[in-house]
Chain A
Amino acid sequence: MGFEKFGRKSFTSATKTAKFVDFLMEGKIMGTICKKCGMKYFPPRADCANCFSSEMDWFEMPKRGKLETFTVAYYAPYGFEMDCPYSMGVVDYGDNLKLFARISKNIKQDELRTDMEVTVKPVQYEDGQIAYEIEKA
C-alpha cells in the first residue's frame, strides 16, 4: 500500500518499492542498488535481475542530466484530459541511468531542446498526488 499517491493518477497500490513515495515526500528521488552486485536501477526494483538478490539499498538520483528527448501531448488518455497540453521527456544522467517524467510547465514549449541541461524535482499536486517533474537546471 502507499503507491496510490504516485503520479497524476496511479494504477498500482501494492509494491515492495512503495517507500519511493515516502522519499518523494522528503524531497528525494531515489533508485535502488543491489547490495550484492552493485547494479543500479531506476525506476526502483525490489529484486535484482543480475544476481537474483532481493537485498536492495536506496540511492539518490544525480542532480543534473540532459534532456535526451521530449514530446508535447495534445491528447490525453482517460483521466488526464484536464492537464492537456503537457510535455514529457527522458533525462539521461549517463552511467546507464535514465528517467522518464512530465516536464514542468515552468519550461515553455518553445524552450525545449534535446540535450538541454535539466534537473528533476519532486512535485505535489493540488489533489495530494505526488510525482517528479523535469525542471530547468
Chain B
Amino acid sequence: MPKDVAVIGVGQSNFVRGYEGSIRELAFEAFREAMEDAGITTKDVDASIICSAPEYDKQRSPAGVIAEYLGLIPQPTVYVETICSSSSTGVRIAYGLIKSGLHDIVAVIGFQKMSEITSAESQERMGRGADIQWESPFGTMMPAYYALYAQAYMAKNGLTLDDLMNVRIKSATYGQINDRAVYRKPVLPDDFDPNNPNARMAQVVSWPLRVGDACANADGSSCVILANAEKAKAICKKPVWILGIGAASEAVNMASRPDFSKGIRVAHIAAQQAYKMAGITPKDVKVAEVHDCFTIAEIMAYEALGFAPIGEGKQLIREKATYKEGPIPVNVDGGLLSKGHPIGATGGSQIRTIVLQLRGEAGPMQVPGEPDIGLVHNIGGVGLYGNVTIFGR
C-alpha cells in the first residue's frame, strides 16, 4: 500500500444557486479553508492546478487569473478539465507531479459558477455537450443520455422507478444535515407521486428519469492540498494518503458504447486500477462518494465499484445498506443530488468529504466505526471520463 502522497488540507465553499461574486472570489473561499486546514502559507505551495468546465466560464484561461488572486504567483499553474471530473483529474496530475519529485506541495482548486452565463446560453451549450458531429444534431442532452443507460439497465435488471426514488430520498436525508449543500429539504415518496399535483419531483425530463432523478445545479468551489510523505508527516497531524488512483476514457458516441445494461465502462476500469494499486478489495472500503449526477448513476456505481454484483445494485438501496449506519455508506453528504454539482468543483468536494470522514471530522455526517479507507468515484460527461481514487489513514 503506497504512502507517498497525502492530502494535507481540504476546503469547500457553500454550494449555492447564483453565487454573488466572481469566479476568483468563489475559488478563494475553498482555498482559504484548505490552507487554514493545512496550516501553511502560499509560499509553501509549489504549484497550483485550476479545474473547471470551460463552457460555463466567460474568463478565458482562468488558471492565471485565479492563481494570482490566491497569492500563488509566481509559482507554475495550469488549467485542467475533464468536465464533471475535472478536479479529480487535477488531483491525479498533482499526484504525478509530487510522486515524480518535481514538486513537494500542490494545490488543486476546482470551481464552477454555472450562473456565470444566462440560462439561454446554458441551453445552447447543453446542446453541444456530446458528439457535435454525429449526435448533437438529433437534440441530445445530459438527462437523455443517462436515460438511455437507465432504460437498458432497468429492463435487464428489474430495477424500478421506486428504487431510483429511494436513492433520491437517501441523498436528501443527508443534504438536510450538510450545511454546505444547495438542496437542504427532505424528499418524500409523495414528491414523486405523478397523481399528486404538487409533486416537485415527478415530472419526466427524459423517460424514465424525472426531475427528482437529476442532480442540483450549483455554484461552488473546492480545494485539495497534496504533499509528499516528508512534508505531510512534518506539517499534518492527520494526513490522508492516496492509496490507489485509477482513470479511463470512453468513446463519446453512444453508437460506440458497450452493453448499456452493464453501466459506465470507465468506472469499472478505473475501479480495478485503483483497487489493484491500493492492494485492497471492495469489502475494505468503509465509506464512499459516488458520482450520482442522476439516481441511476449511483446504482450503476455500486456495481462498478464492486459493492454489489452486476445487476444487483438495487439490493443495496432496498436494504438501506448505503445509509450512514449500513455496511457501505455512500454519499452521506447528500451527493450531487442534494449537495449539488458545480461541475469543476465536484471531485474536490467528494474528496473533502472522504478526508473528513477518515479524520473523524465529518460532524453530523460522520460514519460510525472510525472508517480507515474511503473511495471517491467521479465521472466526467456521460461516462466519457472515469476517475476512482482510494484514500486511507
Contact = CB atoms under 8 A, between A and B. Distances in A.
Given A11-B136, A43-B133, A71 B141 contact: no
B115 interface: no
Contacts of B141: 73, 75-77
Nearest to B140: A88
| Most chain A CB neighbours (cut-off 10 Å) among B123, B134, B209, B260 | B134
Contact of A7 (B120, B138, B152): B138
B137 A71 contact: no
B375 interface: no
Interface residues of A, number: 39
Contacts of A98: 254-257
Interface of A: 3, 6-12, 15, 42-43, 68-80, 83, 86, 88-90, 98-102, 109, 113-115, 131
17 contacts: A11-B132, A69-B148, A69-B155, A71-B208, A72-B206, A73-B139, A73-B141, A73-B147, A74-B203, A77-B127, A78-B123, A79-B124, A88-B138, A90-B255, A98-B256, A100-B134, A101-B138
Contact of B151 (A8, A69, A73, A131): A69
Interface in B108-138: 120, 123-124, 126-128, 131-138
B253 A86 contact: no
Interface in B23-42: none
Interface in B51-83: none
Nearest to B121: A78
Contacts of B138: 7-8, 88, 100-102, 131
Contacts of A86: 139
B124 A78 contact: yes
Interface residues of B, number: 42
Contacts of A8: 137-139
B68 to A, nearest CB: 34
Interface of B: 120, 123-124, 126-128, 131-141, 143-144, 147-152, 155-156, 203-209, 253-257, 259-261
Contacts of B208: 71
A10 B138 CA distance: 9
Contacts of A73: 139, 141, 143-144, 147, 205-207
Given A9-B137, A131-B137, A71 B123 contact: no
Given A42-B255, A90-B254, A77 B123 contact: yes
Contacts of A11: 128, 132-133, 136-137
A76 B137 CA distance: 12
A79 B152 contact: no
A66 to B, nearest CB: 11
B276 to A, nearest CB: 27
Contacts of A80: 127, 139
A72 B141 CA distance: 11
Contact of A70 (B124, B127, B148, B259): B148
B320 to A, nearest CB: 29
A10 B259 CA distance: 28
Contacts of A109: 207
Contacts of A89: 148
A90 B260 contact: yes
B133 A70 contact: no
Nearest to A4: B137
